[in-house]
Amino acid sequence: MSATVAIWAVLLGLTSAAAAQVASTAGRPALLSSLLACREITGETARLACYDATAAAFDTAEREGEVTVVDRAAARDTRTRLFGLDLDTANLFGRLRQDEPISAIETTLVSARQDHRRQWTFTLADGSVWRQIDQEQVTGRTAAGASVRIRQGAVGSYLLSVDGSRSVRARRER
């Protein structure tokens, strides 16, 4: 076995053991833990080789869709688009979910229609669909382009207002 192969074998063994330890304690993805474990290697050449190998693996995993890197702004944008869906247990963004919660969104109405019970279904510019769940009358203009504001109400409910009119209770369907 050549010296280079031996160094790689040792590096991979050290990195995997250290990564498993870090991942189990911090709940981080294995690739990130492997990258951080490289800091523990004392020899400069070995540490650089560890960083290079792990960074290459991280890059490959990201390009192949195995790992996604999301910054705070992208996470907030996605949470805004998912507003109203029950995703509290999914923890899609790990520690990024500790940001200030989104309590309201403002968007534009694409279409609105009433069903046989006189309840409305609203399709919004962000692609979401909301259905009225109470019997209140919608007093705002329900034409395409009207402004819509949805805010959280009590006990997990949502209040939807069209063109600044009185709010009605609504549930997001998609």
- Token reading at 23: 């991942």
- Token reading at 173: 């369907």
Question: What pLDDT was estimated at residue 44?
Answer: 94
- Domain boundary, last residue among 45, 63, 81: 63
Question: What pLDDT was estimated at residue 84?
Answer: 74
Question: What pLDDT was estimated at residue 129?
Answer: 93
Greater confidence (155 vs 163) lies with 163
Whether 31 is covered by a domain: the verdict is yes
Return all residues near 139 (Cβ < 8 A) that are at least 6 apart. 165, 166
Whether 97 is covered by a domain: the verdict is no
Q: Is residue 166 within 8 Å of 154, Cβ to Cβ?
A: no
111 and 164 co-located in one domain: yes
In tens, the pLDDT along 120-152 reads 999 999 999 999 999 888 887 888 999 999 998
Q: Tell me, yes or no, if the pTM score tops 0.85.
A: no
Distances (CA, A) of 4 to 8, 11, 43, 49, 132: 6, 10, 14, 10, 67
Report the percent of the chain where pLDDT is more than 90. 36
Return all residues near 91 (Cβ < 8 A) that are at least 6 apart. 97
Whether 76 is covered by a domain: the verdict is no
Whether 16 is covered by a domain: the verdict is yes
Q: Is residue 52 within 8 Å of 78, Cβ to Cβ?
A: no
58 and 115 co-located in one domain: no
How high does pLDDT run on average in the chain? 78
Whether 79 is covered by a domain: the verdict is no
Question: What pLDDT was estimated at residue 17?
Answer: 44
Question: What pLDDT was estimated at residue 86?
Answer: 63
Whether 74 is covered by a domain: the verdict is no
Query: How many domains, the chain?
Result: 2
112 and 163 co-located in one domain: yes
Whether 93 is covered by a domain: the verdict is no
Element (H, E) at 151: strand 147-152
Q: Is residue 150 within 8 Å of 84, Cβ to Cβ?
A: yes
Counting every residue written for the chain, the total comes to 174
In tens, the pLDDT along 31-74 reads 888 889 999 999 999 999 999 999 999 889 888 888 878 888 88
58 and 109 co-located in one domain: no
Q: Is residue 20 within 8 Å of 32, Cβ to Cβ?
A: no
In tens, the pLDDT along 89-118 reads 555 555 544 556 778 889 999 999 999 988
Residue with tokens 């990564």: 19
27 vs 30: CA distance, rounded Å: 9
Whether 23 is covered by a domain: the verdict is yes
- Domain boundary, last residue among 43, 63, 83: 63
Residue ranges making up the domain that contains 30:
3-63
